[in-house]
Structure 1
Amino acid sequence: MSQFVVKNSEADAPPPPNPSSGGLKGHPWLTLLTVAVGVMMVALDGTIVAIANPVIQEKLGAAPSEIQWVTSGYLLALAVFLITAGKIGDRFGHKSTFLVGAVGFAATSAAIGFAGNIQTVIAFRVLQGLFGALLQPAALGLLRGAFPAERLNMAIGIWGGVIGASTAAGPIVGGLLVEHVSWESVFFINIPVGLIALALGLWVLRDVRAENAARSFDLPGIGLLSVGMFALVFGIIKAPEWGWGDSRTLLFLGGAVLLMVLFALWQGRAKEPLIPLSLFRSVPLSAGVLLMVLMAFAFFGAIFFVTFYLQNVHGMRPVDAGVHLLPMTGMMIVGSPLAGIAIGKVGPRIPIMVGMLLTTGAMVGMSTLDTGSGTGVMSLWFVLMGLGISPVIVGATEVIVGNAPLELSGVAGGLQQAAMQVGGSLGTAVLGALMAAKVGDVLPGNWAKPGLPPVADPQQAELLKQGAQLGIAPPAQPGMPQQAVDAMAGAVHQSFVSGMSLAFVVAAAVAFAAALLALLTRRGSNDAGPAVHI
C-alpha cells in the first residue's frame, strides 16, 4: 500500500486539519474548486480559439497552413508532454506543478494577445500547450490525494462537469468576444482565471505525494516517448493533407511505432522508468486507457463535423451554433456529477457500458440528420450524446487514476489525458478521411441531378470538392439566377451530409466496441489518498 506525505513550508507544521473543524488548507472540496478553475482555462481554450481563428487569419494576414497551426501546435504540445508532465508532478509535487502550469498558461495567453504576427502566435500557442499539459495531470493527482477512495468518483464527476461547462461556454464566449471586443480578448480572458487559480492554489492546496515516488528522471524514456508521441500525433494531423498512403505519412506513423517499441523495451530495463510496465498488468487500467482512446475517437471525431453542419449547412453564426450544442454540453454538466454518484454506488462497469450504448444510439441517430433536420431532432440526439458520454469520461478516468499506485497518480493522469488527445486526433483524421472520400464519390451525382453544368476546370473542381467537405457552397457569380445558386448549395450540402452520415456510422461502431470493452473495467483498488472527513 502506498504511503504519502504532506509537504508544508514550516518544518514543525501540524498535521492536516480536519475540514469539518474549519481548516481550509487541504480541504477536499476547496481543492476541487481550485483545480477546476485551473483546468477550466485549458477546456475553455480548446473551443474558444477555434471561433477566433478566422479573424486571426484576416488580421495577421496568415496563410491557411499557418492558421491551422494555431490549433495544431497547441494540441501537439499538449499531447506530447502530458505523461512527462504527470511524472514531474509525481516527482516535485502536484501543487507546485499545478501552480507553475496556471501561471505559465496565463502568461503565454497574454503574450499571444500582444503578438504582432502569426509566427509569434504559433510559438506561444506551443508554449501554452506545454503549460496546459502541466495543469491536467496535476489536477487529477491533487484530487487523488485529497479525496478518499469512496468519494474520488464524485470529485471526478464534478471536475468533468466543470470541463463540460467550459467546453460549452467556449463557442458562445468566443463568439461574443470576437464580435464585440477583439480576437486578442479571447486570450486575455485567461489572465484573470489564471490569477484566481494561483491565489486559490497558494491558499488552499496541500501538496500530497507518495514517499516512494521516483527521485530521478528517466531521460532516455522521456526522449523516446516524446519523439514517438510527436511523430504519431503529427502524422495523424498531416495525414488528411498528405494522404494516408503518402510516404511522409507512413514515415511518421511507422517511426512512431518503432519509437514506441523502443520505449517499451527501455522501460523494462530502466532503473526508475517513466511508465513502469507493471502498471499495465492491471487489466482494468489498461482497459480504461484503451476505452478513453475509443471514446475520444468516436466522440471528438464525430462532433468535429457538427459545427460545420450547423454553421455551413444551416447557416448559423458561431454563437448560435454554440447555443444549439447546449443540450449536449448541458447534459454533460448535469450528467458528470450524477455519473460520479452512480459509479460510487455500483462501480464503473455498468455506468460506462450504459453510457457507451447511449452514445452508440446517439451516433446512429445523428447519422440520419439531413439538410432539413430541425432543432428538435438535433437536440434529441445531442441530449442523448451528453448523457451517454458523461459516465464514460468520469468512469474511465476513475478506473485509470484509481487503479494506479499513489506515487504514479500523475503519470496515470497523464495517460488518461494523452489517451483522450490521441483518440480525438485519430478520430478527427480517420473520420475526416472517410468523409472526404464519401463526399468525393457523391458530389458529381448530386451536382448533375438538378442539371448543373459540370465544372470543367480541374482546379475549380478541386476547390469545389474541398469546400463540399466542409459544407461550404461556392459563391454565386454575378448575374447567376437564384435557382442555380440554390441548386449548387443543395448539391454541396447533400454531399456533406452524406459524408457526415458515414462518419457517424463508423463512430457508432467504435462506440459499440468501447461498450464491450467496459466489461473489463472495475473500481480502483489502490489507496486513493488521505482518510479525511468530508
Structure 2
Amino acid sequence: MPSPSTSVDQSTAPAPAPAGGPRSSPWLTLCAVAFGLFMVQLDASVVAIANPAIGSELHATTAQLQWVTNAYLLALAATLILGGKLGDRFGRRTYYLVGVVGFTLASVAIGLSGSIEGVVVFRALQGVFGGLLMPNTLGLLRAAFPPRRFGMAVGIWAMVSAVSTALGPIVGGLLVEHVSWESVFYINAPIGVVALVFSACVLPQSRTAGGPHRFDVPGVVLLALGLLCVVLGVVKGETWGWTSAGTWGAVAAGVLVLAVFGRYQTRIAHPLLPMRLFRSRTLTVGAVITALNFFVMLGVIFFVMLYLQNVRGFTPVEAGVRTLPLSLASLVASPLGAALTQRLGARFTMPLGMVLQSAACFGMLTWQTDSSYATMWPPFVALGLGVGMVMAASSEAIVGSAPVRDAGVAGGLQATTLQIGGALGTSVLVSLISSRVGSTLTGELTAAGVPADLAGRLHEAKDAVAMGVAPVSGDMPAGLRAAVAQGSGHAFLNGVHTAVVVTGVLCLAGAALAALGVTRPAQEQTAH
C-alpha cells in the first residue's frame, strides 16, 4: 500500500506528452535510463580488472594506480546530490543526457590519453558526469511511474545495476586478455551512443515546478567539500593507516563540514538537500542499508577475485565465469525483491536480504586453498540474492519515500550512500585482511615447512600476501616454493575469514536495524 510520501505532486509531474507517443510510456523511460545505468555500473567494476594492465603499460606507481579509482570515487561522491538537484530544478532529462554524453566522451579520452596522468584526470571527469547521470535515472523513474508501479520499476533498475556490476569482472577479463586495457573504456562509446539516441527519442522532460529562487551555491560547496574529505579519508585509510592522523583528520574534517552543511540547510528557504527528507525513518534507514549493501558487495567481490586469481590461479575470465552464479542470482533477486517490497514492505525485504548476505559471508568460512567449486557457488548465490533484494527495497525506501519534487535529490542521496559504502567496503576489508595476514604469516609459513629464518624474512612481503600473492622466486627449490605458496595461501585465508566474520555480523546488525527502523506504510502515512 503506497504511503502519501509516494503520492504524485502535480506541480512536479513530467511535461505532458502526446497521447500514445513514445514519451508517454514510463516503460520506455525505464529502458532508456537502463542504458546509462548499465554503462556507469559496468565501468565501475570493470576497471579493477584493467588496473594491472594500466599500471604495466603506463609505468604507473602503486600510488598513481590507486588514483585511477580514487579520482573517480571522489568526483562522483562530490557531485551526485548536486546532479540530482540540478535535474529536479532545471530538467531531469536534460542532465541525464548531459551525463551520458560527458561520460561517453570521457571514457574515450581515457583510452586515447597515453599517460597515467591523463587517465586520472579523465577518470575524475567520468565521475563528474556520472554524478549528473546516476541520480536522474531514479528521478526520471519517480516522476514517470505511479506509486503502485514504482516499486517494480526500481526492482528492474536494481537488477540492471547489480547485474552490470557483477558482469564487470567477466567483461573486463575478456577485453583485457583478448583486446587491450583501453577497450575497457572504449566499450562505453557504442553503449553511450545507443543510450543518447534512444533516450533523446523517448524520455519525457520533468522538473520541479515553482517560482524562481536562488540556487544554493554555499550548500554545493559545503556538501562537495565534506564528501570529498570523508571519501578521501576512507579510500586512503588502508594506505595511510586507519589510526593515522591523516585518516582521522580527513574523516573528522569531512564530518564537521557535513554537520555545518546540515545546519545551514535548515536555515535557508531553498536548500540543496532538504533536511525534511530525513523525517522519514524509512528513508533514513534505507540510506544506511544502501551503504551497508554495497560495503558487502564491492568489498566481498574485491577479495573473492584476489582469491580466485592469485590463490587459485584462475585467469580473469575463468574467475569471472566462476562468479556467474552471483550475477544470475542478482538477475532474479532484484525484481523478486521489488515484488516482495510491494506486497510485504521494505520492513520484510531488507532484513531478508541482509540475512542472506550474512549467510553468504559465514559460508565463506569453509573456503580453503584447495576448496572445490561446490563450496564456492552457494555463497555466491546467497550473496547475489541478498544484494539484489536489498538494492530493490532500499532504493524504493529512499526514492519512494521522497516527494516527487525531490526525486532527483533522493536519487543522488541513494547513489552517494552507495558509493561511500562501496569505498568503505573495499578499504576496510582490505585492512582487516592485511592486519590478520601480518599477525599469522610467519606462523603459517613455518607450519608449512618453511625454515624459521626464511619465514621471518618473508614476513616483509605481507602486503603482497594480503593481495593473495605468494612471495616465491625462481631460484627457490620446488619443494620450498610449494611450502611458501601453501603458507601464504593459508595466511591470506586467515585474513579472508576475519573479514567475512566481521561482514556477516554487520549484515545481521543491518537486518535488525531494517526490521526495527523501517515503518509500515500505515505508520508512514500517519507520520506524514
Is the TM value for this pair above 0.5? yes
Structure with a larger share of its residues in helix: 2
1:4 maps to 11
Per-residue CA distance 1:261-301 (angstroms, 9 max, x = gap): 11111112122111121111111111111111222223322
Match of 1:452 among 450, 453, 458: 450
Name which of structure 1's ranges 174-183 and 212-221 shifts more when overlaid on structure 2.
212-221
1:89 maps to 87
Match of 1:113 among 98, 111, 114: 111
CA distance, structure 1, for counterparts of residue 523 and residue 140 of structure 2: 16
Per-residue CA distance 1:461-512 (angstroms, 9 max, x = gap): 42x101110110113232x221111100001100000100010000011100
Tell whether the 8 Å contact from 1:403 to 1:524 is kept in structure 2 after alignment: no
1:215–1:196 distance in 2 versus 1, CA, 3 Å = farther
What secondary structure is seen at the aligned counterpart in 1 of 2:206?
strand
2:470 maps to 473
The 5 Å alignment of 1:125-164 reads 125-164=123-162
1:311 maps to 309
Tell whether the 8 Å contact from 1:91 to 1:215 is kept in structure 2 after alignment: no
Match of 1:339 among 334, 337, 340: 337
Per the normalisation by structure 1, the TM-score is 0.93
Partner letter of residue 47 of structure 1?
S
Match of 2:325 among 306, 324, 327: 327
CA distance, structure 1, for counterparts of residue 523 and residue 88 of structure 2: 16
Partner letter of residue 470 of structure 2?
A
What secondary structure is seen at the aligned counterpart in 2 of 1:210?
coil
Per-residue CA distance 1:280-337 (angstroms, 9 max, x = gap): 1111111111111222223322332111011111111011111111101110011111
The 5 Å alignment of 1:428-467 reads 428-454=426-452, 461-462=459-460, 464-467=461-464
1:482 maps to 478
2:4 maps to none
1:530 maps to none
Match of 1:517 among 474, 488, 513: 513
Partner letter of residue 11 of structure 2?
F
What secondary structure is seen at the aligned counterpart in 1 of 2:444?
helix
Please state how far the C-alpha of 1:172 moved relative to its aligned partner. 1.7
1:251–1:17 distance in 2 versus 1, CA, 3 Å = same
1:173–1:214 distance in 2 versus 1, CA, 3 Å = farther
Gaps of 5+ in 2: 1-6
CA distance, structure 2, for counterparts of residue 400 and residue 523 of structure 1: 14
Per-residue CA distance 1:328-381 (angstroms, 9 max, x = gap): 111001111122122222222112111111111111111221112111210011
1:178 is the counterpart of 2:171: no
1:425 maps to 423
The 5 Å alignment of 1:112-261 reads 112-212=110-210, 215-261=213-259
Per-residue CA distance 1:196-255 (angstroms, 9 max, x = gap): 111111100001223248843211111111111010000111111111121111211111
1:356 is the counterpart of 2:357: no
Per-residue CA distance 1:509-534 (angstroms, 9 max, x = gap): 1100111111222477999xxxxxxx
Partner letter of residue 512 of structure 1?
L
What secondary structure is seen at the aligned counterpart in 2 of 1:209?
coil
1:294 maps to 292
1:518–1:5 distance in 2 versus 1, CA, 3 Å = closer
1:317–1:93 distance in 2 versus 1, CA, 3 Å = same
Tell whether the 8 Å contact from 2:14 to 2:143 is kept in structure 1 after alignment: no
1:12 maps to none
CA distance, structure 2, for counterparts of residue 326 and residue 516 of structure 1: 29
2:488 maps to 492
CA distance, structure 1, for counterparts of residue 432 and residue 480 of structure 2: 29
Name which of structure 1's ranges 130-139 and 345-354 shifts more when overlaid on structure 2.
345-354
Partner letter of residue 489 of structure 1?
A
CA distance, structure 2, for counterparts of residue 299 and residue 495 of structure 1: 23
Partner letter of residue 186 of structure 1?
V
Identity within the alignment, %: 45
Match of 1:101 among 84, 96, 99: 99
Count matched residues.
516
Tell whether the 8 Å contact from 1:213 to 1:408 is kept in structure 2 after alignment: no
Tell whether the 8 Å contact from 1:6 to 1:206 is kept in structure 2 after alignment: no
Per the normalisation by structure 2, the TM-score is 0.94
CA distance, structure 1, for counterparts of residue 400 and residue 329 of structure 2: 25
Partner letter of residue 117 of structure 2?
Q
What secondary structure is seen at the aligned counterpart in 2 of 1:49?
helix
CA distance, structure 2, for counterparts of residue 7 and residue 31 of structure 1: 12
Please state how far the C-alpha of 1:3 moved relative to its aligned partner. 2.3
1:459–1:69 distance in 2 versus 1, CA, 3 Å = farther
1:531 maps to none
Tell whether the 8 Å contact from 1:3 to 1:212 is kept in structure 2 after alignment: no
- What is the aligned-residue RMSD (CA, Å)? 2.0
CA distance, structure 1, for counterparts of residue 131 and residue 429 of structure 2: 26
CA distance, structure 2, for counterparts of residue 244 and residue 57 of structure 1: 26
CA distance, structure 2, for counterparts of residue 215 and residue 157 of structure 1: 35
Per-residue CA distance 1:133-174 (angstroms, 9 max, x = gap): 111100000111111111111111111111222223222222
Gaps of 5+ in 1: 9-14, 528-534
1:408 maps to 406
CA distance, structure 2, for counterparts of residue 399 and residue 215 of structure 1: 29
